[in-house]
Amino acid sequence: MIAFNENNLLRSICKDSFYEFLKEFWPVIINEDFKDNWHIEYLCNELQHMAERVFANKPKEYDLIINISPGSTKSTICSIMFPCWVWLRKKEARFITASYTKDLALDLSRRARDIILSEEYQNIAEGVQLRADQRVKSFFMNTAGGFRVAVGTGGTVTGFHGHFLMVDDPINPKAAVSEVELDSANTWMTDTLATRKVEKAIVPTILIMQRLHQNDPTGFILDRTNGKGIKHICIPAEITDNVQPPELVKFYQDGLMDPIRLSRSVLEESRANGEYQYSGQFLQSPVPLGGGMFHPAELVYHKRIPKFTKFVKKVRYWDKAGTAGGGAYTAGVLMGLDTKGAFWILDVRRGQWASNEREKIIKSTAILDTGNVVVGVEQEPGSGGKESAEATARNLAGFRVVLDRPTGDKALRADPFSVQVNCGNVNILMGEWNHAFLDEMTYFPLSTYKDQIDAASGAFNRLATRKVVGGLPRSKRVRKLRRM
Q: What is the pLDDT of residues 207-248, one digit of tens each?
A: 999 998 888 999 999 989 988 999 999 999 999 988 999 999
Which pLDDT band holds residue 278 (cuts at 50, 70, 90)? confident
Distance CA 449, CA 321 (A): 12
pLDDT(474) > 50:
no
CA atoms within 13 A on the CB side of 432: 2
Residue finishing a domain among 229, 258, 281: 281
Task: Please tell me whether residues 203 and 301 are part of one structural domain.
Answer: no
Helix, strand, or coil (residue 167):
strand
In a domain, 385, yes or no: yes
pLDDT(473) > 70:
no
Distance CA 338, CA 310 (A): 5
Residue 469 has a pLDDT of 34
pLDDT(172) > 70:
yes
Task: Please tell me whether residues 274 and 180 are part of one structural domain.
Answer: yes
Distance CA 218, CA 395 (A): 42
pLDDT(310) > 50:
yes
In a domain, 375, yes or no: yes
In a domain, 287, yes or no: no
Task: Please tell me whether residues 232 and 313 are part of one structural domain.
Answer: no
pLDDT(322) > 80:
no
Task: Please tell me whether residues 230 and 302 are part of one structural domain.
Answer: no
Task: Please tell me whether residues 88 and 131 are part of one structural domain.
Answer: yes
pLDDT(482) > 60:
no
Element holding 439 (H helix, E strand): helix 434-443
Q: Exposure of 26 by Cβ count < 10 A (0-12 exposed, 13-18 middle, 19+ buried)?
A: middle
Which pLDDT band holds residue 288 (cuts at 50, 70, 90)? low
Task: Please tell me whether residues 225 and 317 are part of one structural domain.
Answer: no
pLDDT(478) > 60:
no
Of the candidates 402, 379, 385, 412, which has an alpha carbon nearest to the alpha carbon of residue 459? Answer: 402
Task: Please tell me whether residues 276 and 300 are part of one structural domain.
Answer: no
Distance CA 51, CA 57 (A): 10
In a domain, 179, yes or no: yes
Average pLDDT over residues 448-459: 92
Average pLDDT over residues 290-305: 86
Helix, strand, or coil (residue 340):
coil
| Count of all residues that appear for the chain in the document | 484
* pTM assigned to the model: 0.67
pLDDT(1) > 60:
no
Distance CA 279, CA 258 (A): 17
Strand 330-338 versus strand 130-136 pairing type? unpaired
Residue finishing a domain among 219, 251, 281: 281
The secondary structure of 360-425 as a DSSP string is HHHHHHHHHH-TTEEEEEE--SHHHHHHHHHHHHHHTTTSEEEEE---S-HHHHHHHHHHHHHTT-
Strand partners, 151: 98
Residue finishing a domain among 281, 305, 331: 281
Task: Please tell me whether residues 176 and 51 are part of one structural domain.
Answer: yes
Task: Please tell me whether residues 242 and 203 are part of one structural domain.
Answer: yes
Q: How many domains does the chain have?
A: 2
Which pLDDT band holds residue 98 (cuts at 50, 70, 90)? very high
Task: Say how many C-beta atoms besides its own lie within 10 A of residue 27's C-beta.
Answer: 12
Q: What's 95's domain CATH number?
A: 3.40.50.300
Q: Which domain holds residue 144?
A: 4-281
pLDDT digits (tens, 9 = 90+) for 106-141: 999 999 999 999 999 999 998 899 998 888 999 999
Longest dimension (CA), the chain: 98
Which pLDDT band holds residue 484 (cuts at 50, 70, 90)? very low
Task: Please tell me whether residues 252 and 132 are part of one structural domain.
Answer: yes
C-alpha to C-alpha distances, 293 to 44, 446, 464, nearest whole angstrom: 38, 10, 19
Q: What's 352's domain CATH number?
A: 3.30.420.280
In a domain, 286, yes or no: no
In this structure, are residues 184 and 215 in contact, taking their beta carbons and an 8 Å threshold? no
Task: Please tell me whether residues 307 and 413 are part of one structural domain.
Answer: yes
Q: What are phi and psi of 327, to 5 degrees?
A: 75, -140
In a domain, 33, yes or no: yes
Average pLDDT over residues 280-298: 79
Of the candidates 265, 231, 264, 226, which has an alpha carbon nearest to the alpha carbon of residue 248? Answer: 231
Of the candidates 316, 379, 384, which has an alpha carbon nearest to the alpha carbon of residue 344? Answer: 316
Of the candidates 8, 14, 115, 189, which has an alpha carbon nearest to the alpha carbon of residue 181? Answer: 189
Report the chain's mean pLDDT, rounded to a whole number.
89
Say which residues have a Cβ less than 8 Å from residue 132's Cβ, sequence separation at least 6: none
Task: Say how many C-beta atoms besides its own lie within 10 A of residue 369's C-beta.
Answer: 20
Distance CA 329, CA 326 (A): 8
In a domain, 302, yes or no: yes
Q: What percent of the chain has pLDDT over 90?
A: 71
Residue 477 has a pLDDT of 35
Task: Please tell me whether residues 275 and 351 are part of one structural domain.
Answer: no
pLDDT(408) > 80:
no
In a domain, 40, yes or no: yes
pLDDT(50) > 60:
yes
Which pLDDT band holds residue 384 (cuts at 50, 70, 90)? confident
Residue 471 has a pLDDT of 35
Element holding 164 (H helix, E strand): strand 164-168
For 346-350, 381-385, 449-453, which range has the lowest pLDDT when averaged over its residues?
A: 381-385
pLDDT(295) > 80:
yes
